[in-house]
């Protein structure tokens, strides 16, 4: 009986010890969770997180690139008593995970890594930086937001009357001339402009950044201009009041060496005849 009692006491003691270890594990900060694009390494918890529309400077092999969009910043800490990975392990862990979903490694150096991935038609950049010999690390994910524009028929007419043209930022499927649903409001305002001023005739002119070849960009910009023209005709505007023209990359508004400049160059202009 004494031996059985000692065994039972030992079992109870071990059970209490196990519970004590489990309860000492740090929990994720309230309201925080992994980004759906990429998860954490094993044995880490989230100490803080934040989300906002913001810009972030991503380090590259040569220089850096500042991008803006929907930004998620998450800080991870290793659980007490867990193995502590090295900087290399952290970088390679994320690099391999990004490659597995079709992404690319842009920087893999020291305690930092920069990665890029396109998923679901949306481009995202990821920065990973480790601290304290790997005890904690930070992940920043910026999902690039397309340039959007709210413009009215009256504002268009004022610009045409003053400058003779207006630049519109109409979103298309990547490499195609399909107008995305979020830009249909701009098409409606172009039609409203022409309905309000029946004497007005315009040229719809497409422009691109310098990604790709000059010839392919000219073809794409022409197709996009025609797509806008056709969509406007479907709104009840006579086709003889419109022409479509593509300039490709020939007339940039901004420097194509930055993503911001490229976004400004990808435009459709309405030009008064």
80 and 53 in a single domain? The answer is yes
Query: Residue 17 domain-assigned?
Result: no
Residues 140 and 180 in one domain: no
Q: Evaluate whether residue 211 is within a structural domain.
A: yes
What is the pLDDT at residue 122?
Answer: 77
Does a structural domain hold residue 214?
Answer: yes
How big, in percent rounded to 5, are the helix, strand and coil portions of the chain? 35, 35, 30
What is the per-residue pLDDT for 7? Answer: 37
Q: Can you tell me which residue has the tokens 């991935």?
A: 117
208 and 174 co-located in one domain: yes
- Encode pLDDT of 207-262 as tens digits: 999 988 999 999 999 999 999 999 999 999 999 999 999 999 999 999 988 767 88
**Exposure on the CB side of residue 40, measured as CA atoms within 13 A:** 21
Query: What does the pLDDT read at residue 21?
Result: 36
Residues 108 and 194 in one domain: no
Residues 124, 178, single domain; the answer is no
Could you give the number of structural domains in the chain? 2
Question: Domain range for residue 49?
Answer: 28-144
Last residue in a domain, options 144, 161, 177: 144
The burial of 8, by beta-carbon neighbours within 10 Å (0-12 exposed, 13-18 middle, 19 or more buried), is given as: exposed
Q: What is the pLDDT of residue 24?
A: 58
Tell whether 166 and 211 lie within a shared domain: yes
CATH code for the domain of 213: 3.30.1330.60
Is residue 121 assigned to a domain? yes
What is the per-residue pLDDT for 257?
Answer: 82
Last residue of a domain, one of 82, 113, 144: 144
- For residue range 116-130, list pLDDT tens digits in order: 998 766 789 999 999
Q: Is the distance from CB of 201 to CB of 239 less than 8 angstroms?
A: no
The alpha carbon of 64 is separated from its chain's Cα centroid by a whole number of angstroms, namely 17
136 found inside a domain: yes
Does residue 169 share a domain with residue 70? no
Identify whether 232 is part of a domain: yes
Residues 218 and 257 both lie in one domain: yes
Q: What is the DSSP string of 80-144?
A: TTS----HHHHHHHHHHHHHHTT-EEEEEETTEEEEEEEETTEEEEEEEEEEGGGTEEEEEEEEE
How far apart, in whole angstroms, are the C-alpha atoms of residue 152 and residue 10? 78
Which pair of tokens denotes residue 272? 């008064």
Cα distance between residue 42 and residue 54, in whole Å: 29
Q: Is 230 part of any domain? A: yes
Task: Provide CB contacts within 8 A for 5, sequence distance 6+.
Answer: none
Q: CA dist 166 to 45, 64, 147, 210, Å?
A: 50, 32, 16, 21
Give the burial string for 64-79 (b: 16+ CB within 10 Å, else e).
ebebbbebbbbbbbbe
Name residues whose C-beta falls within 8 Å of residue 87's C-beta, 6 or more positions apart in sequence. 110, 111, 130, 133, 134
Do 111 and 181 lie in one domain? The reply is no
Under the banding of pLDDT at 50, 70 and 90, the label for residue 23 is very low
Asked if residue 6 is part of any domain, the answer here is: no
Q: Are residues 165 and 235 in the same domain?
A: yes
90 and 167 housed in the same domain: no
Of 227, 221, 166, 223, which is closest to residue 193 (Cα–Cα)?
166
Shared-domain flag, residues 39 and 88: yes
Query: Distance between CA 50 and CA 71 in Å, rounded?
Result: 8
pLDDT band at 144, cuts 50/70/90? confident
Last residue within a domain, chosen from 144, 171, 196 = 144
């Amino acid at each position: 009986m004494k031996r059985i009692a000692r065994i039972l006491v030992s079992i109870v003691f071990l059970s209490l010890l196990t519970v004590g270890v489990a309860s000492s594990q740090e929990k994720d900060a309230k309201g925080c969770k992994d980004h759906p694009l990429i998860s954490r390494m094993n044995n880490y918890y989230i100490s803080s997180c934040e989300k906002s529309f913001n810009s972030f400077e991503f380090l590259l092999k040569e220089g850096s690139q500042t991008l803006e969009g929907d930004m998620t910043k998450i800080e991870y800490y290793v659980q007490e008593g867990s193995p502590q990975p090295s900087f290399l392990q952290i970088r390679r862990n994320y690099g391999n995970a990004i490659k597995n979903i079709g992404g690319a490694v842009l920087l893999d150096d020291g305690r930092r890594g920069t990665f890029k991935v396109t998923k679901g038609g949306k481009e995202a950049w990821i920065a990973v930086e480790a601290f304290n010999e790997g005890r904690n690390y930070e992940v920043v994910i910026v999902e690039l937001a397309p340039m959007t524009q709210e413009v009215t028929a009256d504002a268009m007419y004022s610009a045409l009357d003053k400058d003779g043209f207006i630049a519109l930022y109409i979103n298309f499927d990547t490499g195609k001339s399909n107008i995305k649903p979020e830009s249909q409001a701009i098409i409606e305002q172009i039609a409203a402009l022409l309905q309000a001023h029946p004497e007005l005739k315009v040229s719809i002119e497409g422009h691109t950044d310098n990604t790709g070849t000059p010839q392919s960009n000219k073809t794409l910009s022409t197709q996009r201009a025609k797509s806008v023209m056709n969509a406007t005709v479907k709104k009840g505007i006579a086709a003889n009041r419109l022409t479509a023209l593509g300039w490709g990359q020939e007339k940039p508004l901004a420097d194509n060496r930055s993503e911001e400049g490229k976004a400004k160059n990808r435009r459709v202009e309405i030009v008064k005849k």
